[in-house]
């Protein structure tokens, strides 16, 4: 019998997944075999169709999906309970064990639906804890960066007056770190970096031009011409930038660098604030998620499809995270190189030298592990946020709050308009 296989599979499930050990076909067969309890079986069958998950087509059809038997609201629990009471009153054959077992099971479903159940997952909480630890590190790093930017800003503000110009021909073309020790060193480094851009861009133009001179394909020639045009525009910008910086007097140049440093300091402080906000959010999210995961059974039933989708996302994301973590942890280091030295007297000695490639492997391990932990943490925060926010939204009647806020806003607007009219 086909329903027997379905029933056995359902026995391996929990209420959260939709557990019923019998089907509507079983009730119809029992009704035929025991005519005395026909009315009782009628009410029992009706109790299996109270859920709002069922459409009219489902109710008028021959079968009901087992997952759809569960009530989705408190009112549906009451309706199902009432039908079960009617079924119990209508029973004529008190020795019908099949009816008793089915009635007890449906009552168990109603009881489970009315009760609250813990529905949180430790894996998601662990992911959020990792997020908190990560945010603490990033916040400290952001605070250090902001403090460093503030120190650099003061250093620029305390520059001793120096005026310098560097002719393009004698300016070095190597890339330099812009030292804040003095205005001259900083300006010289910036000019050198700008010249580096000029030389690099000019080299690109020459390369495109050489390809254009030997190219016979019409489309490629057009592409090379466009590339040359863009590079020439960029070259002109770098040349103008070099001249503009070179001609700046001390005060003008210092003012420009102070503006840049203030902007960098502002961004660093903003980054530190956002890290702090996110850290506080995740810390508060964990207890909120646990609290709102204590849900009624009918709430779980009502959103079972959503839970399945979130579970699928979690499964895929955690699988990807596990792959990166596993690849990083399983990656073995390259062995050290064994060097053999042969001497003129025929003797040999052996010693090992560290393989420089080991450092590359260590870096790859660290990157893979970081990616795995990041995916694990960010997925946990996303799912916990969605579940918690959805629960808060569905638990309370926000229409009253919205109405009060709308009325208050309208009243404030009316007062402002009234004042304007009186003036």
Asked if residues 45 and 36 have their Cβ atoms less than 8 Å apart, the reply is: no
Phi/psi for 336 (5° steps) reads -65, 155
CB atoms within 10 A of CB 423: 5
Nearest 5°: phi and psi at 121? -120, 130
Q: How many residues are there in the chain?
A: 423
Instruction: Tell me which of 20-34, 45-59, 152-166, 332-346 is least confident.
Output: 332-346
| pLDDT on residue 231 | 93
Whole-number mean pLDDT of the chain? 83
Q: What is the DSSP string of 178-210?
A: ---S-HHHHHHHHHHHHHHHHHHHHHHHHHHHH
Provide the token pair at 230: 């863009």
**What are the strands, taking DSSP E only, across 334-393?**
337-342, 348-353
Instruction: Indicate the range of 8-22, 108-122, 184-198, 229-243 predicted with least confidence.
Output: 8-22
Query: Does 198 score more than 90 pLDDT?
Result: yes
The structure tokens 């489309």 sit at 219
- CA 412 to CA 233: how far, in whole Å? 54
Q: What is the dihedral of CA 377, 382, 385, 389, to 10 degrees?
A: -170
pLDDT above 70 for 237: yes
Percentage of the residues of the chain whose pLDDT score is greater than 90? 28
Q: What is the pLDDT of residues 343-367, one digit of tens each?
A: 667 677 766 655 555 667 777 888 8
pLDDT band at 4 (very low <50, low <70, confident <90, very high): very low
314-339: b (≥16 Cβ within 10 Å) or e: beebbeebeebbeebeeeeeeeeeee
- Which residues have C-beta within 8 Å of that of residue 128, sequence separation ≥ 6? 282, 285, 286, 289, 377, 380, 381, 384
**Would you place residue 280 in the very low, low, confident or very high pLDDT band (cuts 50, 70, 90)?**
very high
pLDDT recorded at residue 366: 82
Give me 211's structure tokens. 């390809």
Taking only the tens place, the pLDDT of each residue in 309-338 is: 888 899 999 999 988 888 877 765 555 566
Q: Is the pLDDT of residue 229 over 80?
A: yes
Residue 345 per-residue DSSP state: T
* Nearest-10 crossing angle of helices 250-292, 357-395: 60
> In this predicted structure, what is the pLDDT of residue 353?
57
For the chain, give the percent of residues with pLDDT over 70.
86
pLDDT value, residue 59:
58
- Average pLDDT for residues 234-252, to the nearest whole number? 92
**Residue 5: pLDDT band by 50, 70, 90 thresholds?**
very low
**Nearest-angstrom CA–CA distance, 127 and 373:** 8
Closest CA to 70 of 114, 117, 26: 114
Q: CA nearest 90: which of 38, 27, 147?
A: 38
pLDDT for residue 2 is more than 50: no
Inform me whether the pLDDT recorded for 8 exceeds 70: no
| Mean pLDDT for the stretch of residues 389-393 | 88
Please report the sign of the dihedral spanned by the C-alpha atoms of residue 362, residue 364, residue 365, residue 371: positive
Average pLDDT of 115-123?
88
Q: Tell me 109's DSSP state.
A: H
Residues 59-115 have pLDDT tens digits of 555 555 566 788 888 998 999 999 999 988 988 888 888 888 888 888 988 999 899
Cβ pair 35, 53 in contact under 8 A: no
Q: Of the ranges 43-47, 159-163, 333-337, 368-372, which one carries the lowest mean pLDDT score?
A: 333-337
Look at residue 308 and tell me whether its pLDDT is greater than 70. Answer: yes
- Alpha-carbon gap, residue 63 to 58, rounded angstroms: 7
> For residue 236, what pLDDT is reported?
94
As a whole number, mean pLDDT of residues 256-278 equals 89
């Amino acid at each position: 019998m086909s329903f027997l296989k379905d029933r056995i599979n359902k026995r391996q499930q929990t209420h959260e997944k939709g557990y019923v050990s019998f089907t509507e076909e079983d009730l119809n067969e029992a009704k035929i075999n025991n005519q005395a309890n026909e009315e009782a079986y009628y009410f029992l069958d009706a109790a299996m169709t109270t859920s709002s998950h069922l459409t009219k087509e489902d109710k008028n059809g021959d079968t009901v999906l087992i997952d759809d038997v569960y009530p989705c609201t408190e009112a549906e629990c009451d309706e199902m309970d009432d039908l079960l009471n009617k079924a119990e009153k209508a029973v004529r054959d008190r020795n019908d064990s099949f009816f008793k077992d089915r009635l007890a099971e449906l009552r168990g479903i109603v009881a489970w639906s009315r009760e609250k159940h813990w529905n949180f997952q430790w894996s998601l909480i662990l992911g959020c804890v990792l997020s908190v630890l990560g945010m603490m590190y990033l916040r400290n790093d952001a605070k250090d960066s902001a403090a460093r930017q503030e120190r650099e800003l003061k250093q620029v503000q305390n520059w001793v007056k120096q005026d310098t110009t560097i002719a393009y021909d004698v300016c070095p073309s190597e890339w330099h770190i812009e030292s804040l020790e003095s205005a001259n060193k900083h300006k010289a480094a910036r000019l050198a970096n700008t010249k580096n851009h000029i030389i690099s861009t000019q080299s690109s133009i020459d390369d495109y031009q050489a390809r254009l001179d030997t190219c016979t394909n019409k489309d490629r020639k057009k592409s090379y011409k466009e590339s040359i045009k863009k590079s020439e525009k960029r070259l002109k910008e770098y040349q103008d930038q070099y001249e503009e910086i070179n001609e700046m007097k001390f005060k003008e140049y210092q003012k420009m660098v102070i503006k840049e440093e203030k902007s960098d300091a502002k961004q660093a402080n903003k980054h530190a604030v956002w890290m702090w906000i996110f850290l506080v959010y995740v810390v508060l999210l964990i207890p909120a998620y646990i609290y709102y995961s204590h849900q009624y059974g009918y709430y779980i039933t009502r959103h079972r499809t959503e839970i399945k989708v979130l579970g699928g996302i979690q499964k895929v994301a955690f699988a990807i995270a596990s792959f990166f973590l596993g690849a990083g942890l399983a990656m073995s280091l390259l062995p050290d190189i064994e060097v053999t030295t042969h001497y003129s007297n025929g003797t040999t000695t052996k010693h090992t030298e560290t393989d420089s490639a080991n450092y590359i492997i260590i870096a790859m391990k660290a990157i893979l592990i970081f990616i795995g932990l990041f995916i694990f943490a960010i997925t946990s925060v996303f799912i916990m946020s969605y579940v918690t926010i959805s629960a808060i939204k569905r638990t309370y009647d926000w229409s009253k709050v919205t109405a009060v806020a709308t009325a208050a806003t309208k009243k404030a607007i009316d007062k402002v308009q009234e004042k304007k009219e009186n003036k």
